[in-house]
Chain A
Amino acid sequence: MSDTHAQTVPFVRDTMLPPSDPPAREAGAIHWLRQNLFSGPVNTVLTIIGVLIVWFLVSHFWDWFAHSVWNANSLSECRQIIAETWGEGARGACWAVIRERWNQYVYGFYPPALYWRPTMAFGLLFLALAPVLFSESPGIRRIVLGLATVLTLWLMVTLNAPAAWLVFAAVMLIGGLAVSERHVSWLLIFSVLYPLMGVWFLWGGSAWGPIMVLAGPLLGWIAWLALGRVSGLLATVVALVVPLVWWYFYAGEAASDAESLVSLAIPAVASDRFGGFLLSITIGVAGIAMSLPLGIVLALARRSDMFLVKSLAVIFIEFIRGVPLIALLFVASLLLNYFLPPTVTFDIILRVIIMVTLFSAAYMAEVIRGGLAALPKGQYEAADALGLDYWKAQRLIVLPQALKISIPGIVSTFIGMFKDTTLVTFVGLYDPLKSMSDAVRASTSWKGIYWEPYIFVGFIFFLICFGMSRYSMYLERRLARGHR
């Protein structure tokens, strides 16, 4: 065999021919265009129509965006600058209104000297969220926390935060970053405490209020420990009742007594000073944080075998889903005042948060129920076969899978809810989109401005919602265990 081969050797190439270029139509940009944009008559026509639409939009609006004015004190000044720079009759965007009213769009009517407080609360929010949102990706967590730390401290310095609070924020943020490197789960303690802390930073007043609220579950826990030996059921019931009784009857008094002994008060800020994105984000974050657990409970209740629990859940969900959110907001702002005695004032933002939470919890429940229903029956039976009780089965087997399936739906509900926070305009709160923009337009210098505030606020909403959407896709990839 080798002999025959030897004779033919001179005629055999010992090097490969260099590959020739593919035909011009099958490579590079042209190939991509042919494949994706002009693969057939229908696709070609659609491409041309699409290009025409884009060209139409750009040609109509390009000059408006190109002629942007950032420095002016009133709309008429803007118009004058546009006419001087680009000639009489030119039109342009007057972003100066955003520049002048920036603080108002971000903080509403919050006292300017205290702007650092919401800023700090917002920065610490990321620390509270880190162990929940980025528990499995140290790299991303490091970036997020690092950015939050640097930006928060920098902003606090520029906003003239008192040195003591600057140190506090630095210790919390940098300490949190350090702790998260070793024991992420320790940060969960901070996540649990954050809601009370955030409320205190935003509304101010005495720190004893949140502390006394926190004392409720603590007392319940002590009661549970004490009675645990006597009877499990009794201990559980008492542990649930004690905090409620404490909150309702004693917490307020205890807080004011403690305050008179040792004052831990920072300047209080009333709810009517809230507005703009501060208001939207406060309502949005509170609503999101509370509607998910409530939605899970409702979804489980609706699938429960217990008749009463199930009926109540169905009634609640169907009622809330059948009523427009605006109707609930009107109830919160107007009808409640008729029922409550005149001396009882119930904070309007709190009322709105409760209504928004209930509303999105009902939708959340249905989304999660979808996830529960999508789980194969075998999973439930497997949990039973392992001898797990109901809560263990839900916690260890059912919910992790059901929630994973529901992530897109859950995040959609979050996004929808966050955007719905602009509806608070109807109850006289200053949402950034309508009320705040109308208030800006009501000043004589900016009357007549229309698109700029809408575009600006819409853009910020887009950034936040797009961020949430990208996060949900990241989460789906992280949790796609079936494909690994």
Chain B
Amino acid sequence: MKTSVFLGTVAAATLMAGAGMADTLADVKARGELNCGVNTGLVGFAAPDANGNWTGFDVDICKAVAAAVLGDASKVKYVPTTGQTRFTALSSGEVDLLARNSTWTFSRDTDLKLDFIGVNYYDGQGFMVRKDLGVTSAKELEGATVCIQTGTTTELNLADYFKANNMTYQPVNIDSNAEGEQQYMAGACDAYTTDASGLAATRAAFADPENHIILPEIISKEPLGPAVRHGDNNWGDIVRWTLYALIAAEEYGITSANIEELTSSSQNPEVQRLLGVTDDLGAMIGLDKEWAKRAIMASGNYGEIFAANIGEQTPIGLARGLNAQWTQGGLMYAMPFR
């Protein structure tokens, strides 16, 4: 009896909270600041520097949305969220947008009442082993000890993969990436598994990267994308099309360097629409004409953001791979701006 009353109160409070926050765009504009949920610290994706300025691949998504909605890429309040608090922070309204390398899965999209608005990084789970172990394929990891971060999709993927291949393994549970590296370096586990982007960054930071190899098998799909709350479709549209604007900009060759020039001189109708020269697409989502232009100017197009934070010129050194444009054999495919 008491429990049901309590749960009823929680449910009612949730509904009220949900109803009260249906217009995220108006809230953000009234506040003058975008609350963006980010990782507490993940190399290349989101990290505060010594002065507390946030940089990273996910952070640039926040900046682009802030630039589109508020006209100023710096009007973002970064709310660091942990693996445990991220989805609650979003559904309770503490953040307007969650750009925190979260995998788009069925249950998160439906049961957790999130709306993933797209994919900004296609990742996949891989394995790293010491070269002298003599292993060249994940299929040879029978009976291996594996360092695995608890409470993530990687843990479930690992179990699935070994089960499907009829192999056994000994998990060594770890709490954070830093701890995983340490356990792996200390020899507590034969293999370290996490997202391939994380493995590359980890390997690059080793004193002896040449003694470690990343196995060719990618055992899972990890589409990482920004998420918003279920139920506010207009806000979801804004974030989705901001991401598409960044991706489309790369496709059409719009960069932060030539954007002004293209605005005045481009004859490509799609570019003209995107940059607000001809049609007024912004009005359809409650923004002004130049929303996409500002979003692109915030940190550049998708390719520029990739190159600046995690690309091959950075210490992390990730190749575009699946994240190349569809015209280059990748999966980045912006829906048409029309």
Contact = CB atoms under 8 A, between A and B. Distances in A.
Contacts of A427: 82, 85
Contacts of B166: none
Interface stretch (B12-20, B119-127, B147-155, B210-218): B12-20
Nearest to A334: B88
B47 A442 contact: yes
A438 interface: yes
Given A112-B51, A342-B21, A442 B46 contact: yes
A67 B16 CA distance: 60
Nearest to A447: B205
A450 B41 contact: no
B95 to A, nearest CB: 10
B314 interface: yes
Nearest to B88: A334
Contacts of B49: 443
Contact of A430 (B17, B80, B178, B314): B80
B189 interface: no
Given A441-B178, A444-B44, A448-B206, A337 B94 contact: yes
A79 to B, nearest CB: 5
Majority SS at the chain B contact face: mixed
A435 interface: yes
Interface stretch (A17-25, A42-50, A102-110, A363-371): A102-110
B48 interface: yes
B40 interface: yes
B93 A342 contact: yes
Given A338-B17, A438-B178, A426 B207 contact: no
A443 B14 CA distance: 37
B262 interface: no
Interface string B302-322: 000000000000111000000
Interface string A252-292: 00000000000000000010110000000000000000000
A337 B85 CA distance: 12
Given A273-B52, A435-B41, A342 B46 contact: no
A272 B79 contact: yes
B13 A339 contact: yes
Contacts of A79: 207
A79 B206 CA distance: 10
A258 B46 CA distance: 42
A333 B84 CA distance: 12
A75 interface: yes
B208 to A, nearest CB: 10
Given A101-B50, A273-B52, A444-B316, A334 B201 contact: no
Contact of B176 (A342, A438, A447): A438
Interface residues of B, number: 48
Interface in A439-454: 439-444, 447-448, 450
Nearest to B203: A448
A334 B92 CA distance: 7
A428 B51 CA distance: 18
Contact of B48 (A330, A342, A439): A439
Given A337-B93, A438-B40, A426 B17 contact: no
B330 to A, nearest CB: 24
Contacts of B287: none
Nearest to B175: A434
A377 B293 CA distance: 80
Interface residues of A, number: 39
A435 B50 contact: no
A342 B17 contact: yes
Interface string B41-80: 1111011111110000000000000000000000001111
A112 to B, nearest CB: 7
A447 B43 contact: yes
Contacts of B79: 272, 428
Contacts of B44: 444
Contact of A442 (B17, B42, B84): B42
A166 B94 CA distance: 39
A28 interface: no
Interface in B83-101: 84-85, 88-89, 92-94
B46 A428 contact: no
Given A338-B14, A430-B80, A450-B181, A443 B43 contact: yes
A181 interface: no
Interface in A105-137: 108-109, 112
Contacts of B51: 109, 112
A339 B12 CA distance: 9
A448 B205 contact: yes
Contacts of A442: 39-43, 46-48
Interface in A408-454: 425-428, 430, 434-435, 437-444, 447-448, 450
Contacts of B144: none
Contacts of B159: none
B242 interface: no
B182 interface: yes
Given A425-B82, A426-B82, A447-B43, A337 B17 contact: yes
B80 A428 contact: yes
Given A338-B13, A428-B85, A435 B52 contact: no
Interface in A319-338: 330, 333-334, 337-338
Interface string A48-91: 00000000000000000000000000010001000000000000
Nearest to B204: A447
B81 interface: yes
Contacts of A428: 40, 79-82, 85, 89
B10 interface: yes
Contact of A337 (B27, B48, B78, B92): B92
Given A338-B14, A428-B80, A447 B94 contact: no
Contacts of A272: 77-79
B43 A342 contact: no
Interface string B158-178: 000000000000000000111
B182 A439 contact: no
Contact of B85 (A333, A339, A438, A448): A333
A91 to B, nearest CB: 9
Given A425-B82, A427-B85, A450 B178 contact: yes
Given A428-B81, A430-B40, A438-B41, 12 more contacts: A79-B207, A103-B50, A342-B93, A426-B85, A437-B178, A438-B178, A440-B41, A441-B41, A441-B43, A442-B41, A443-B47, A444-B44
30 contacts: A101-B50, A333-B85, A334-B92, A337-B93, A337-B94, A338-B10, A338-B14, A341-B17, A426-B82, A427-B85, A428-B89, A435-B41, A438-B40, A438-B176, A439-B48, A440-B41, A441-B41, A442-B39, A442-B41, A442-B48, A443-B49, A444-B43, A444-B314, A447-B43, A447-B201, A447-B202, A447-B205, A447-B315, A448-B181, A448-B205
Interface of A: 75, 79, 100-101, 103-104, 108-109, 112, 270, 272-273, 330, 333-334, 337-339, 341-343, 425-428, 430, 434-435, 437-444, 447-448, 450
Interface of B: 10, 13-14, 16-17, 20-21, 27, 39-44, 46-52, 77-82, 84-85, 88-89, 92-94, 176-178, 181-182, 201-202, 204-207, 314-316
